[in-house]
Homo-oligomer: A and B are copies of this chain.
Amino acid sequence: MDIVDEQRDGDVVERRFTLPAGEALVPGIHWLPADASAPHATVCIGHGGFQHKRIDNVLALARMLVSELGVGVVALDAPEHGDRVSDPEAASRQLAALSSGDPEERRRVFGREARAAMARRAEVHVGEWQVLLDALQRDERWAAGPFGWWGVSMGTTHGLPLTARDDRIAAAVFGLNALRPGDEAWARQAAAVDVPVLFLTQWDDELMTRETSLALWDALGSTEKTLHVNPGRHVQVPTFERGASVAFFRRHLLR
């Protein structure tokens, strides 16, 4: 984890880093309270599909968590996202297909091969997050954790398996994601999550049905899990839900 840049904005320090993980050099950001000398918790934010580590909603949430809770926040570019996009044309074709709302077009662009590639990248990225947790634990200020996860949509595709298999994640915000009938592997991963979860769902999400969205929340193994549902489409989660995420991490990460 090599720090390549450090800026301060008000009471928040923003450090850009690169993380050697496998064959990749993963670009990331670490936000910290300006006087981060005492041990504190860290929240990992996984961005959504076609987004990146410093997109508006990630940045706003990161600053809010640092300012209001005094925790650290880390974000990475997922494979083929942000600074890691190798084929910008393919990415914009996929985004257009997703936005078109045409199921036929979506099926064409997200064919079996594309979906298999996404699944492979997801598996790789979960490993990269574990390498980041290892790297963070080399500094005694955040070695002891606790660590939280925040990520909806693709952020849940990556964060749910991470939370299921890595005991270091003590609380997680998921959402905008679904469990389709017959997807036993995903159901098993959901059932393996046993930490407190806040799950965000949009009632008019054009990318999934209400039933499959509720089914993923229902499948989570956690004893404490809360579902928040708001009207609106996939990317229309109300900004006031940020406050709910902050309150959730306050309850579970501050000791």
**Which A residues form the contact surface with B (CB < 8 A)?**
203, 217-218, 223-231, 238, 240, 243-244, 247, 251
Cα A225 to Cα B231 in complex, Å, equals 7
A230 CB, min distance to chain B CBs, angstroms: 5
Given contact pairs A226-B228, A226-B229, A227-B227, enumerate 7 new A-B contacts (beta carbons under 8 Å).
A217-B229, A223-B231, A226-B230, A240-B251, A243-B247, A244-B244, A244-B247
A229's nearest neighbour on chain B, judged by CB, is: B227
Question: Are the CB atoms of B229 and A229 closer together than 8 Å?
Answer: yes
Query: Which residues of B have CB within 8 Å of A247?
Result: 243-244, 247
Query: Which residues of B have CB within 8 Å of A226?
Result: 228-230, 238
List the 5 closest pairs (A to B, CB-CB), nearest first. Answer: A227-B229, A226-B230, A228-B228, A243-B247, A226-B228
Cα A238 to Cα B238 in complex, Å, equals 23
Cα A22 to Cα B68 in complex, Å, equals 49
A217 CB, min distance to chain B CBs, angstroms: 8
Query: Which residues of B have CB within 8 Å of A227?
Result: 203, 227-230
A186 CB, min distance to chain B CBs, angstroms: 20
Cα A154 to Cα B247 in complex, Å, equals 28
A163 CB, min distance to chain B CBs, angstroms: 18
Cα A124 to Cα B244 in complex, Å, equals 37
